[in-house]
Structure 1
Amino acid sequence: MTSPDQDPPATLSDGVVHWLTNGTRNERFIDNIFAEMCNRLQQVGIPLKRSTLHILIQHPQWLGARFKWSDGAREAETSLVDFDVRGRSEYIGSAANEIQDGASEVRERLGRDPALGRKHALYDEMRANGLTDYVAWPLYHTLGKQHLITFATDRPGGFDDAHIAALKNLLPVLALVSEIRIKNRLARTLLETYVGAHAGQLILAGATRRGTGTTVRAAIMICDLREFTRISDNWPRDDVIDLLNDYFDAMSEPIARHGGEILKFIGDGLLAIFPLSEPNACANLLHAVTEAKAAMVALNERNSATSRAPLNYGIGVHVGDVMYGNIGSSSRLDFTVIGPAVNMASRLEALTKQVGRPVLLSRDFAEQVEPAFELEHVGQYEVRGFSDPIELFAFHG
Structure 2
Amino acid sequence: MNASELQKIADWLIDGARSAASPSHMMAETCERLVQAGLPLWRVGVFVRTLHPDIYGRNFIWRPGAEVEVGTVDFNVLDRPEFQASPLAIVFTEGSEVRGRVGDPGSDRFPIVADMRAEGVTDYVALPLVFTDGSIHASSWTTKQPGGFSDVQLNALRSLVRPLARLVEIINLQRTSALLLDTYVGNRAGARILGGQIRRGHTDSMHAAIWLSDLRGFTALSDRLPAETMVDILNGYFDCQVSSIRNHGGEVLKFMGDGLLAVFPIDEYVGDIQQVCGSVLEAARESRASVEAMQYPVGEAVERFRFGVALHVGRILYGNIGGGNRLDFTCIGPAVNLAARLEKIAGKLGRTVVASAGFAGICAGGWADLGEFPIAGFSRAERVYGLVDEAPAA
Task: Report the TM-score, using the length of structure 1 for normalisation.
Answer: 0.92
* Structure 2 counterparts to residues 1-397 of structure 1, below 5 A: 10=3, 13-22=6-15, 24-25=17-18, 27=20, 29-73=22-66, 75-109=67-101, 111-112=102-103, 116-277=106-267, 279=272, 280-300=275-295, 303=297, 307-371=301-365, 374-395=366-387, 396=389
Task: Tell me the distance in 1 between the aligned counterparts of 2:116 and 2:289.
Answer: 46
8 Å CA contact 1:54–1:65 kept in 2: the answer is: yes
8 Å CA contact 1:66–1:78 kept in 2: the answer is: yes
Task: Tell me the distance in 1 between the aligned counterparts of 2:203 and 2:225.
Answer: 41
Task: Tell me the distance in 2 between the aligned counterparts of 1:283 and 1:305.
Answer: 40
8 Å CA contact 2:108–2:114 kept in 1: the answer is: no
Report how far residue 13 of structure 1 moved.
2.3
Cα separation, partners in 2 of 1:306 and 1:212, compared to 1, 3 Å: farther
Task: Tell me the distance in 2 between the aligned counterparts of 1:306 and 1:146.
Answer: 47
Task: Tell me the distance in 2 between the aligned counterparts of 1:22 and 1:61.
Answer: 32
Task: Report the TM-score, using the length of structure 2 for normalisation.
Answer: 0.92
Residue identity matched to 2:326: R
Report how far residue 142 of structure 1 moved.
1.5
- In structure 2, the gaps of 5 or more residues are none
Report how far residue 34 of structure 1 moved.
1.3
Deviations 1:93-144 (A, max 9, x none): 21121112214100001x227x842434322321221111000011011212
Alignment root-mean-square deviation, CA: 2.0
Cα separation, partners in 2 of 1:235 and 1:305, compared to 1, 3 Å: closer
- SS across alignment from 1:392: strand
8 Å CA contact 1:315–1:360 kept in 2: the answer is: yes
- SS across alignment from 1:341: helix
Q: Which residue of 2 aligns with 1:5?
A: none
Cα separation, partners in 2 of 1:235 and 1:118, compared to 1, 3 Å: farther
Residue identity matched to 1:224: D
Report how far residue 91 of structure 1 moved.
1.1
Deviations 1:42-70 (A, max 9, x none): 11111100010000111121011011111
8 Å CA contact 1:51–1:152 kept in 2: the answer is: yes
Task: Tell me the distance in 1 between the aligned counterparts of 2:178 and 2:308.
Answer: 32
Task: Tell me the distance in 1 between the aligned counterparts of 2:81 and 2:131.
Answer: 27
Report how far residue 353 of structure 1 moved.
1.5
- SS across alignment from 2:320: strand
Residue identity matched to 1:287: E
Report how far residue 150 of structure 1 moved.
0.6
- SS across alignment from 2:46: strand
- SS across alignment from 1:126: helix
Report how far residue 234 of structure 1 moved.
2.3
Report how far residue 305 of structure 1 moved.
10
Cα separation, partners in 2 of 1:129 and 1:83, compared to 1, 3 Å: same
Report how far residue 304 of structure 1 moved.
8.6
8 Å CA contact 1:11–1:165 kept in 2: the answer is: no
Q: What is the aligned-residue identity percentage?
A: 40
- In structure 1, the gaps of 5 or more residues are 1-8
8 Å CA contact 1:212–1:325 kept in 2: the answer is: yes
